[in-house]
Structure 1
Amino acid sequence: MYLSRVEIDTKNRYKTRDLTHLGAFHNWVEQSFPKELATGIRHRHLWRLDTLAGKQYLLVLSETAPDADLLLTYGVPGTAVTKSYDPFLSRLQDGQLMQFRLTANPTHTISRPGQKQGRVVPHVTIAQQRQWLADRAEKSGFQLVEQSIVGTDEDVKQVFDIVGRDWPMLHRKTGRGVRLSRVTFEGLLRISDVAVFKQTLTSGLGREKAFGMGLMTVIPED
Structure 2
Amino acid sequence: MYLSRVEIDTKNRQKIRDLSHLGAYHGWIEQSFPDEIAQGERKRHLWRIDQLQGRTYLLLLSPDKPDLEKLEKYGRPGTAMSKDYEPFLNRLAKNQVLRFRLTANPAFRGGKSSKHPGKIIPYFAVDKQLGWLENKAENGGFKLLSADVVGHDRPSLRKQSRVSLNRTVYEGVLQITDLSKFRNVLTEGLGREKAFGMGLMTVIPM
> Of 179, 184, 195, which residue of structure 1 is paired with 2:169?
184
Q: What TM-score do you get using the length of structure 2 for normalisation?
A: 0.97
1:81-100 equivalences in 2 (<5 Å): 81-100=81-100
What CA distance in whole angstroms lies between the structure 2 residues aligned with 1:34 and 1:114?
43
Offset at residue 113 of structure 1 (A): 5.3
Q: What residue is the counterpart of 1:125 in the other structure?
A: 125
1:1-222 equivalences in 2 (<5 Å): 1-112=1-112, 115-145=115-145, 159-171=146-158, 176-221=161-206
Q: Which has the larger radius of gyration?
A: 1
What CA distance in whole angstroms lies between the structure 2 residues aligned with 1:4 and 1:176?
29
Counting aligned pairs with the same residue, the percent is: 55
SS at match of 2:128: helix
What CA distance in whole angstroms lies between the structure 1 residues aligned with 2:148 and 2:112?
33
SS at match of 2:16: coil
The gaps in structure 2 that reach 5 residues or longer are none
4+ residue segments displaced more than 6 Å: none
Offset at residue 109 of structure 1 (A): 0.5
SS at match of 1:50: strand
Q: What TM-score do you get using the length of structure 1 for normalisation?
A: 0.90
What CA distance in whole angstroms lies between the structure 2 residues aligned with 1:184 and 1:16?
22
Q: May I ask how many residue pairs the two structures share in their alignment?
A: 206
What CA distance in whole angstroms lies between the structure 2 residues aligned with 1:144 and 1:213?
19
What CA distance in whole angstroms lies between the structure 2 residues aligned with 1:89 and 1:112?
37
Question: Which AA in structure 2 matches 1:190?
Answer: Q
SS at match of 1:198: helix
Q: Deviations over 1:26-54 (max 9, x none)?
A: 00000000000110011000000000001
What CA distance in whole angstroms lies between the structure 1 residues aligned with 2:105 and 2:152?
10
Q: Deviations over 1:104-147 (max 9, x none)?
A: 000000124562311111011111101000111111010011xx
Name which of structure 1's ranges 11-20 and 212-221 shifts more when overlaid on structure 2: 11-20
